Amino acid sequence: MTTLRCVLMLVALAGATFAGPEVTELKTEVVSVPEGCTTKSKHGDMLTMHYTGTLDDGHKFDSSYDRDQPFTFQIGVGQVIKGWDQGLLDMCVGEKRKLTIPASLGYGERGAGNVIPPHATLHFEVELINIGDSPPATNVFKEIDADKDNMLSREEVSIELAFQAMDTDRDGELSREEVSDYLKKQMVPADGGEVSEDIKQMLESHDKLVEEIFQHEDKDKNGFISHEEFSGPKHDEL
């Protein structure tokens, strides 16, 4: 499970700048294909990708290269945006592509927090690292052992318990509503006692706090924080 300490801080965008005509269809450009390709990606495969994502104005909003950590997901089951589900099919290991994804196959009219503006066309440079047949089996100990030292610290167990407490619908990922509800419960005394001035200020900026958490934690920018992405919150952040 990755930690917040390794996440690249993203710069908030103050609106969209569009260059050229509006993109309405997915465009896929094959940059390079390795020789001797015998296996290609198909629906249901587990793909491991490296990628860099930019907006029309060239602003880079995310990159697995910057984190030195490729992204693994199952294609064709809705784990990623539709532009990826469609644009990464029939791809060979080692192949590189450029995807131009219209808003209708990306984040639509809502965008994604302060990172992806509404109606944004997305540009991705992608490289397929590996193709797997099925999702890997879950090793609970390894998921909790964030620092990979084969021991579980109090902090690591606390983070796991926090995820379970937030994930009220038990779907393995956190929505903005789940994170918001959890934070409010942590801020307000259960016994109805007096709320401190610091907590009052945090409650007033509650929505901003939730968005900041998603900017840090939602690495694939799909609007949800998966178990793998989750790394907090820490008590000192509350």
Give pLDDT tens digits for 195-210.
666 666 666 776 777 7
| Token code pair at residue 10 | 């993203």
**DSSP letters along the chain, please?**
---GGGPPPPPPP-S----SSPP-S-EEEEEE--TT---B--TT-EEEEEEEEE-TT--EEEEHHHHT--EEEETTTTSS-HHHHHHTTT-BTT-EEEEEE-GGGTTTTT-BTTTB-TT--EEEEEEEEEEESSPPPP-HHHHH-TT-SSS--HHHHHHHHHHHHH-TT-SSEE-HHHHHHHHHHHHS-TT--PPPHHHHHHHHTHHHHHHHHHHHH-TT-SSSEETTT-----GGG-
The pLDDT of residue 50 is 94
Query: Which range, of 78-92, 183-197, 209-223, averages the lowest pLDDT?
Result: 183-197
**Residues 209, 203 contacting (CB under 8 angstroms):** no
More confident site: 96 or 166: 96
| Confidence at residue 125, expressed as pLDDT on a 0 to 100 scale | 97
Q: Which residues contact 195 (CB under 8 A, 6 or more apart)?
A: 187, 188, 189, 203
Q: What is the mean pLDDT of residues 87-94?
A: 95
- Largest Cα span, the chain: 69
Q: What is the pLDDT of residue 143?
A: 53
- Residue 55's identity, in one-letter code, is L
In whole numbers, what is the pLDDT of the chain averaged over residues?
76
The more confidently predicted of residues 191 and 202 is 202
pLDDT higher at 213 or 156: 213
pLDDT-based confidence at residue 18 (cuts at 50, 70, 90)? very low
pLDDT of 155 reads 63
The pLDDT of residue 174 is 82
- For residue 150, what pLDDT band results from cuts at 50, 70 and 90? low
Query: How much is the CA Rg of the chain, to the nearest whole Å?
Result: 19
Two structure tokens written together for 238 = 């509350």
- Cα 168 to chain centroid distance, Å, stands at 19
Q: pLDDT digit string (tens) for 21-71?
A: 677 899 999 999 999 888 999 999 999 999 999 999 999 999 999 988 899
pLDDT number for residue 63: 92
Which residues are annotated as catalytic? 51, 61-62, 81, 107, 124
Predicted pLDDT at 199: 61
CA distance 83 to 51: 13
